[in-house]
Chain A
């Protein structure tokens, strides 16, 4: 089956620093990847759609300059949280579509727990 990995799984950083999270599709090529944010005991909120070779599409209310997304290759998308603050602490999950799959069918990474102190 399609496997998506994320690195790191857990990161703690100081307020004001930047953190990069990687999302990789291990055994397939993903032209489109998605970044979600999940607060404790809440559902996933789509932050942005990452498109290989082009700019990401951000959802309303998501700061483009704060959450930088780069989709440099067909197997890698990165999310950089710039000038992180404690309110950015959250669980970040990426997913990828498999080509030919049903719309909405996505494979999810294991998530990254970000804690900003």
Chain B
């Protein structure tokens, strides 16, 4: 069975500082990995995905994530945080060739960027 872990419920960072939101996964084979962001009372917005290729993936709003196969991690990063980045972030995984039904979400990390 596949699983996703987001070890931090809450991450606080000062505006302008770099931010990292952690994600580790467990799945057979090479996974498909995703990051989504959710603003209050809103649905999820797609940020970026890793399918294959370059381990560093760039996504929306200046976010990027690095796929590390040996550490089974897919941490989300941004060089300089904005107050508007404050939101709930979800990592998700699906096995290669798996149906969309097999998308598994992490528990979410609340990011707060302090002015």
Contact = CB atoms under 8 A, between A and B. Distances in A.
B36 to A, nearest CB: 7
Contacts of A57: 101
Given A57-B101, A108-B44, A113-B41, A43 B106 contact: yes
Nearest to B96: A103
The bracket for how many chain B residues form the interface is 20 to 34
A44 B46 contact: no
Contacts of B110: 41
Interface in A25-72: 32, 34, 41-44, 46, 49, 57
Contact of A103 (B36, B41, B46, B99): B99
A107 B41 CA distance: 16
B103 A102 contact: no
A32 B100 CA distance: 9
Nearest to B91: A43
Interface in A73-104: 91, 93, 95, 97, 102-104
Contacts of A93: 43-44
Given A42-B107, A44-B105, A105 B49 contact: yes
Given A6-B43, A102-B51, A111-B41, A34 B36 contact: no
B12 interface: no
Contacts of A4: 43
Interface in B67-115: 90, 92-94, 96-103, 105-108, 110
A110 interface: yes
Nearest to B51: A102
B44 A104 contact: no
A113 B34 CA distance: 25
Given A43-B90, A44-B90, A102-B51, A109 B100 contact: no
10 contacts: A43-B105, A44-B105, A46-B101, A49-B100, A49-B101, A91-B41, A97-B100, A103-B98, A104-B103, A105-B32
Interface of A: 4, 6, 9, 32, 34, 41-44, 46, 49, 57, 91, 93, 95, 97, 102-111, 113
